[in-house]
Amino acid sequence: TYVLRKAFRGLSLSPTEAAKRAGLPEKDVLALSRGQFSAETARKLAPTLGLDANAVSAHDTYEPAPVTLDAITRLKLPFGDDHVNAWLVSHGHTHLLFDTGDDTHSCAEHLTDLEMHPTVTFITHSHPDHVAGLPSLRGKKYGCEIRGTDPISAGDALAIGELTVQAIDLSGHDTAALGYLVEGLEKPIFVVGDAVFAGSIGGCDPSVYHDAIRRIKTAMEPLSAETIILPGHGPATTVGEERVSNPFFTWD
């Protein structure tokens, strides 16, 4: 239902209009949009919504394989009744923090429990659930360097310890959003904020929807299948998984 709602929104289509364009009974599309899954209806609706038919027809059972890498620590922070991710990527004495959660203190408290002090904090985008923890990290205890959508621009690359971090434009879900490609570990890591989720993307207004998908695909195309994707919500995944199982990406 999240996938369908994001496609309807991005295309400025109602379920009723989508059903007409696809030549499907309105009741079937409405049922699908309300969570009554039908692989047949999903497959037939996919072309009208610009979604990959194979991925969307199997989406009800999609769950990415568990991703494990000692260098990655997931900070699962409170966000209303749900959660939001901050990610810590470590190599030796270098600790890179990506995003800071939805409240002032939870991220800092997690870091204290882990006994880790971030070397640099990177911000993917400015939505409150990703930046609210910044004040605590700017205090005396941490005092880490902060890199966000202003101090670092798409295309910039930084060497931090033995790691390199390249900023990549993922604007769409937010007006200015960056992904960060981290290299120098056993596998490349792509921190994507809310641009990409396992099996989905961040919601986008119609004016930016197609550009957002294009930016994501442009960023992912040169990456190896084993590249680990760290999203702002939900589980980690890989480029290889999303090329096959994310309905928003159709590959030539």
Q: Is the pLDDT of residue 226 over 60?
A: yes
User: Looking at residues 28-52, what average pLDDT do you find?
Assistant: 97
Q: Which amino acid is at 147?
A: R
Q: Which pLDDT belongs to residue 143? A: 59
The predicted-structure confidence for 162-196, as pLDDT tens digits, reads as follows: 999 999 999 999 989 999 999 999 999 999 999 99
**CA distance linking residue 177 with residue 125, whole number of Å:** 5
The predicted-structure confidence for 156-168, as pLDDT tens digits, reads as follows: 999 999 999 999 9
Task: Name the band, by pLDDT with cuts 50, 70 and 90, for residue 153.
Answer: confident
Q: Which pLDDT belongs to residue 149? A: 65
User: Looking at residues 60-88, what average pLDDT do you find?
Assistant: 95
Length of the chain in terms of residues written: 252
Q: Which pLDDT belongs to residue 102? A: 97
What 3-state DSSP class applies to 95?
strand
Q: Is the pLDDT of residue 251 over 80?
A: no
The predicted-structure confidence for 90-124, as pLDDT tens digits, reads as follows: 999 999 999 999 999 999 999 999 998 899 999 99
**CA distance linking residue 84 with residue 169, whole number of Å:** 21
